[in-house]
């Protein structure tokens, strides 16, 4: 085959993939829906819809439904998705834990496991994930159901197209790790990989507070601070490029040195560790608190505990959270002036004290952004962060809606 023929074939495949995904997406969102209605929404000929649904029906991923009531004349058969016939495994790699779940195609978690992450290199990471996925499947998957894909989210620098992690903040990698291919080979299903923050943005886009907006910035605050950006209804996935590094916007020119080499980055004053350190520091210089602050055992004091103390009226905890919120507001203001989003969504343990930080965030944003931008801006806490498997699940949703997962199921 010549290069041109190859290109032609690839283009045809892309086109098929996207129309197939589009038809699935319409059935998923509007179903039960007739073929005529699908054709209308997809701007495709009814004959094309018949052909495409003929490809989807044998997969069991959509089903025909009898029309409800007779309205006279010929009754159209409706199509709907059948979310419970297939299952997927969602894997979330955090700093210290591995969270896994078996989900159906509506995103409902049927069974889950939360285990400590003990891998200290690439080989150990692969074997721990394989072992845990195998265990989950051995216990919970039902014989009549089919596992169709696995999705993994993790922090760091990675390529969503190739499924390769090139940098992980917690696990030293000697060379880039083709984690998606490795896991896919073990379980013989496609494996999708996404960065934690950008996958959360994708989940907000499909299931959360970003559903009704086209321009949204999703910020996640934990041991680092990053942002996922949705522009014109598309989540910028990065594909191996770091984007949305809001944690490295300088908010305090005379601040502490950041691990990136600069001084006073947002992470140095508002990430979980920085907030914990600030409470310890102020308590050390005599400010009273109800929190148990012991500098030698840093693990004991957490962002969650600080939030709870603040909500219970602890003055020091409140003061430290307000300080952090002001810095976050400052970095967000820069982002708003650049992107003019309709919404900012914030996730992380910090949002447990939402009623304390929200007024500070809004006041800072109002002061430091263009008035017309602030007028249409809404600042919200993430409503899905707690349901922590929705971020990896969103990668599967994307692979269905865009087509590649449907295509690989057909090829099988």
Instruction: Provide CB contacts within 8 A for 46, sequence distance 6+.
Output: 35, 36, 39
Q: Which is nearer to Zn ion, 118 or 257 (CB)?
A: 257
Residue 271 binds to Zn ion (criterion: CB under 5 A): no
Residue 256 binds to Zn ion (criterion: CB under 5 A): no
Q: Which is nearer to Zn ion, 262 or 308 (CB)?
A: 262
Q: Which is nearer to Zn ion, 183 or 265 (CB)?
A: 265
Q: Which is nearer to Zn ion, 262 or 408 (CB)?
A: 262
- The distance of closest approach from Cβ of residue 155 to Zn ion in the complex, given in angstroms and rounded to an integer, is 15
Whether 342 and 376 have beta carbons less than 8 Å apart is answered as yes
Query: In this chain, which stretch among 120-128, 159-167, 210-218, 250-258 interacts with Zn ion, using CB under 5 A?
Result: 250-258
Instruction: List the beta strands (DSSP E) in 62-170.
Output: 62-65, 78-81, 86-93, 97-104, 109-116, 146-154, 157-159, 164-167
CA atoms within 13 A on the CB side of 288: 2
Task: Write out the H or E segment, with its range, that includes residue 382.
Answer: none
Query: In this chain, which stretch among 75-83, 122-130, 245-253, 389-397 interacts with Zn ion, using CB under 5 A?
Result: 245-253
**Beta strands 191-195 and 234-235, pairing class:** unpaired
Among 114, 260, 363, 370, binds Zn ion (CB under 5 A): 260
Query: In this chain, which stretch among 11-19, 24-32, 98-106, 258-266 interacts with Zn ion, using CB under 5 A?
Result: 258-266
- The distance of closest approach from Cβ of residue 54 to Zn ion in the complex, given in angstroms and rounded to an integer, is 54
Number of residues that bind Zn ion (CB under 5 A): 5
- The distance of closest approach from Cβ of residue 242 to Zn ion in the complex, given in angstroms and rounded to an integer, is 12
Give 6-34 as a DSSP string. Answer: HHHHHHHHHHHHHHHHHHHHHHHHH-SEE
- The distance of closest approach from Cβ of residue 61 to Zn ion in the complex, given in angstroms and rounded to an integer, is 44
Give CA–CA dist 181/158, Å, rounded: 13
Q: Report CA-CA distances (Å) from 337 to 266, 269, 367.
A: 17, 22, 12
- The distance of closest approach from Cβ of residue 340 to Zn ion in the complex, given in angstroms and rounded to an integer, is 25
Q: Which is nearer to Zn ion, 107 or 264 (CB)?
A: 264
- The distance of closest approach from Cβ of residue 262 to Zn ion in the complex, given in angstroms and rounded to an integer, is 5
Residue 79 binds to Zn ion (criterion: CB under 5 A): no
Residue 248 binds to Zn ion (criterion: CB under 5 A): yes
Q: Which is nearer to Zn ion, 251 or 377 (CB)?
A: 251
Rg from Cα positions in the chain? 24
Residue 235 tokens read as 């989540």
Residue 227 binds to Zn ion (criterion: CB under 5 A): no
Q: Which is nearer to Zn ion, 267 or 385 (CB)?
A: 267
Give CA–CA dist 370/393, Å, rounded: 36
Residue 286 tokens read as 């005599």
Among 117, 154, 189, 265, binds Zn ion (CB under 5 A): 265
Give counts: helices (H), strands (E), the chain: 14, 15
Residue 91 tokens read as 């894997």
Q: Which is nearer to Zn ion, 53 or 268 (CB)?
A: 268
Nearest-CA neighbor of 177 among 130, 125, 224?
Answer: 125
Give CA–CA dist 386/378, Å, rounded: 21
Query: In this chain, which stretch among 160-168, 220-228, 262-270, 371-379 interacts with Zn ion, using CB under 5 A?
Result: 262-270
Query: In this chain, which stretch among 48-56, 108-116, 259-267, 342-350 interacts with Zn ion, using CB under 5 A?
Result: 259-267
- The distance of closest approach from Cβ of residue 263 to Zn ion in the complex, given in angstroms and rounded to an integer, is 8
Q: Which is nearer to Zn ion, 258 or 333 (CB)?
A: 258
Q: Which is nearer to Zn ion, 44 or 157 (CB)?
A: 157
Query: In this chain, which stretch among 164-172, 187-195, 257-265, 377-385 interacts with Zn ion, using CB under 5 A?
Result: 257-265
Residue 266 binds to Zn ion (criterion: CB under 5 A): no
Residue 7 tokens read as 């290109």
Among 258, 351, 361, 379, binds Zn ion (CB under 5 A): 258
Burial class, 77, CB count within 10 angstroms (exposed 0-12 / middle 13-18 / buried 19+): exposed
Residue 257 binds to Zn ion (criterion: CB under 5 A): no
**Beta strands 164-167 and 109-116, pairing class:** unpaired
DSSP structural state of residue 313: T
Query: In this chain, which stretch among 128-136, 231-239, 247-255, 377-385 interacts with Zn ion, using CB under 5 A?
Result: 247-255
For binding to Zn ion (CB under 5 A), which residues are involved? 248, 258, 260, 262, 265
């Amino acid at each position: 085959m010549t290069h041109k023929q190859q290109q032609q074939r690839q283009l045809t495949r892309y086109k098929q993939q996207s129309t197939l995904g589009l038809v699935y997406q319409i059935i998923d969102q509007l179903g039960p829906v007739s073929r005529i209605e699908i054709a209308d929404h997809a701007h495709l000929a009814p004959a094309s819809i018949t052909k495409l649904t003929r490809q989807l029906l044998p997969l069991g991923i959509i089903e025909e439904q009898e029309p409800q009531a007779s309205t006279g004349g010929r009754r159209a058969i409706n199509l709907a998705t059948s979310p419970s016939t297939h299952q997927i495994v969602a894997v979330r790699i955090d700093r210290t834990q591995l969270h896994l779940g078996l989900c159906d195609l509506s995103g409902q978690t049927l069974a889950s496991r939360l285990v400590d992450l003990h891998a200290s290199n690439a080989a150990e990471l692969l074997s721990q994930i394989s072992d845990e996925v195998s265990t989950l499947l051995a216990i919970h998957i039902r014989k009549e159901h089919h596992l169709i894909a696995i999705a993994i989210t993790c922090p760091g620098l990675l390529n969503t197209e190739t499924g390769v992690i090139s940098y992980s903040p917690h696990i030293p990698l000697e060379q880039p790790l083709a984690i998606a291919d490795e896991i896919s080979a073990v379980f013989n299903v496609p494996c999708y990989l996404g960065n934690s923050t950008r996958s959360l943005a994708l989940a907000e886009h499909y299931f959360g507070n970003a559903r009704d907006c086209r321009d949204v910035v999703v910020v996640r605050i934990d041991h680092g601070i990053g942002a996922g950006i949705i522009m014109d209804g598309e989540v910028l996935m990065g594909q191996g490029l770091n984007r949305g590094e809001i944690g490295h916007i300088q908010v305090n020119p005379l601040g502490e040195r950041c691990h990136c080499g600069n001084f006073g980055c947002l992470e140095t004053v508002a990430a979980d560790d920085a907030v914990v350190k600030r409470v310890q520091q102020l308590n050390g210089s005599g400010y009273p608190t109800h929190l148990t602050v012991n500098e030698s055992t840093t693990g004991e004091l957490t962002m969650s505990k600080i939030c709870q103390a603040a909500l219970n009226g602890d003055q020091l905890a409140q003061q430290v959270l307000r300080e952090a919120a002001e810095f976050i507001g400052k970095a967000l203001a820069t982002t708003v002036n650049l992107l003019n989003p309709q919404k900012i969504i914030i996730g992380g343990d910090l949002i447990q004290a939402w009623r304390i930080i929200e007024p500070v965030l809004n006041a800072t944003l109002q002061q430091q952004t263009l008035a017309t931008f602030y007028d249409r801006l809404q600042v919200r806490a993430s409503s899905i962060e707690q349901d922590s498997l929705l971020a990896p699940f969103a990668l599967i949703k994307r692979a269905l809606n865009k087509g590649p997962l449907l295509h690989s199921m057909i090829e099988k």
